[in-house]
Homo-oligomer: A and B are copies of this chain.
Amino acid sequence: MATVKKTAAKTAIFEFVNQSAQAVSHADIQQGLGDVCDRVTIYRVLERLVNENLIHKIVNVDGVLKYASCEICATEHTHVHVHRHDHIHFSCQKCKSVTCLEDVHPTYQLPKKYKVMEVNFTVSGLCPKCV
């Protein structure tokens, strides 16, 4: 029985991600939190937070992984149910910010026989501040 343990690093990282208006990278966290923990620990904590559905993971257009708070998780206090993170992310080419557009859910129809488990929709260009 895998028991999840509460640790200082996990709490700090979770709050950091949650308080950010934009999606943050590993580097952002490391820089933002100073040295609360080792570099490797950040990777491992992020992996756990994603598995526990407390945050969600985004692949940016340049291939760098980013993490963002999950509105559903943040508001509903039960993390038991699994929900799909199928909203669009916007990656600004100028200010480099990655923002969740939680209300924008693309519609599409896949050919039969494909079994979808995760989605990653990212659109890049200029955000309202930079346009």
If A59-B61, A63-B59, A63-B63 touch, whether A110 touches B122 (CB-CB below 8 Å) is no
Contact A90 B114 (CB under 8 A): yes
CB atoms of A105 and B104 under 8 A apart? no
Q: Is A127 an interface residue (CB 8 A)?
A: yes
A90-131 interface (Cβ within 8 A of B):
90, 93, 101, 104-111, 113-128, 131
Contact B119 A124 (CB under 8 A): yes
- Interchain CB contact (< 8 A) of A108 among B62, B88, B110: B88
CB contact list, A61-97 vs B, under 8 A: 61-65, 88, 90, 93
* Distance in Å: Cβ of A110 to nearest Cβ of chain B: 6
Q: How far is A128 from B59 in the complex, measured between Cα atoms in Å?
A: 24
- Ordered by A's residue number, 6 sampled pairs between the chains whose C-beta atoms are within 8 Å are A88-B108, A104-B110, A106-B107, A116-B125, A118-B125, A119-B123
